Amino acid sequence: MFDPSGQDVSFGLSYEHTQLGDTAVLDLRGEIDLATGDDLATQLDRALAGQPKLLVVDLTAVDFLGSAGLSALIVAKGKADGQETRIRMVCNRTTRRTIELTGLAEQFDLVDDRATALRG
């Protein structure tokens, strides 16, 4: 579905893709749960399709990150590794805590702000 604000929206999750040279940025807003996990996977695939050197996934506006979202991120990490794309995730306190509590922090490059994420 398309929101008049210019962002794509799906069941409480909105997303926006931006390309900055050889860096793809996926901005996410809302909740990532069972209802939106497949859509997240689709958007991650879309972002990786251009084989960027870096994919920045901005989770700062995500209110909830459930197991379906974590699964989509893990699958995307495997695909990214296969094509030599680095994934860097910009986290808020909630999303960082979820990733850390599940033991997945070591799998991802987590940063606190977009400026840091965009620095090669």
| DSSP element (H, E) containing 97 | helix 93-101
The contacts of residue 99 (CB under 8 Å, 6+ apart) are: 65, 70, 89, 91, 105, 108, 110
Q: Confirm or reject CATH 3.30.429.10 for domain 8-118, answering yes or no.
A: no
CB 66: neighbour CB atoms within 10 A?
15
Which amino acid, 76?
Answer: A
- Could you list the pLDDT tens digit for every one of the 120 residues in the chain? 444 444 444 558 999 999 999 999 999 999 999 999 999 999 999 999 999 999 999 999 999 999 999 999 999 999 999 999 999 999 999 999 999 999 999 999 999 999 999 996
The domains of the chain are located at 8-118
